[in-house]
Structure 1
C-alpha cells in the first residue's frame, strides 16, 4: 500500500484530504507543521509527501521543510508534491528550487492530484 505523508497546517484540510486519500486506497500519516513533517518523513518513510508550502507551517514554511527533507540522505529520495492556494509563477519556481517534484493548487482537484501522485511515484 502506498503511504502518503500529508503536511498541512489547516486541520479541516488535513482531515478532508486525508480521508479522501484513505478512501482511494492510500495509507495516510499527517503532520501539522514543517518541523513535525520532517520528523514524520524520517519516522514513517512515506512513498510520497504532500506539502502545504504556505507560511502557516509553524517555525518554517513548506519550502524550508522541503529543502531539509531533500538535504537528508534518509529522506532525499521521497518525492514531494507542493500544495498551495497561491498559484503564482514565483510559488511554482520556489517549490521546484526547494526540491519538490510536482506542484498543485488548492482547492485540490482530487483527480488531478491523484494523477500527479501516480506520476511522481513512477519517476521515483
Structure 2
C-alpha cells in the first residue's frame, strides 16, 4: 500500500509507548501522506475493559489508554495531519472494544484467512 500510494510508513508498537503524551508526540511527528500500522492491537493495550479496577490502575505505570488511542486515531491530535491511513491488525477482533470498531474509527474490516495454494501461484 505504502509503495503504491508513495506514502511513508510507520510501525507503532504501543507497548513501547509510556503514556498518552508520548503517543500524541509520535502522531504529531508523523509526516503527511503516511500509513501508521499498529499490529496485534488486541495484545498491546487493554482496550476491552474501560471500567476495570480503578485502584489497580493507580498502582500501575502510566500507559496508553483507550481514550488516548481514540484521540490519536480520530481526535484533535490526528486532525493535524493530512492523508493518513491507520492499519490495525488483530487475531481476535472479538476482544476489541466496540467503540474502536465503529464506523468512523475503523471504516474497513478486512478478514485475511490462511493463505491457500492458489494464492502462492
Whose strand fraction is larger, Structure 1's or Structure 2's? Answer: 1
Q: TM-score range by the shorter chain?
A: 0.3 to 0.5
Larger Rg: 2
Q: Which protein, 1 or 2, shows the higher relative CO under an 8 Å CA cutoff with sep ≥ 6?
A: 2
Q: TM-score, normalized by length of structure 2? A: 0.47
The structure where helix makes up a greater share of residues is 1
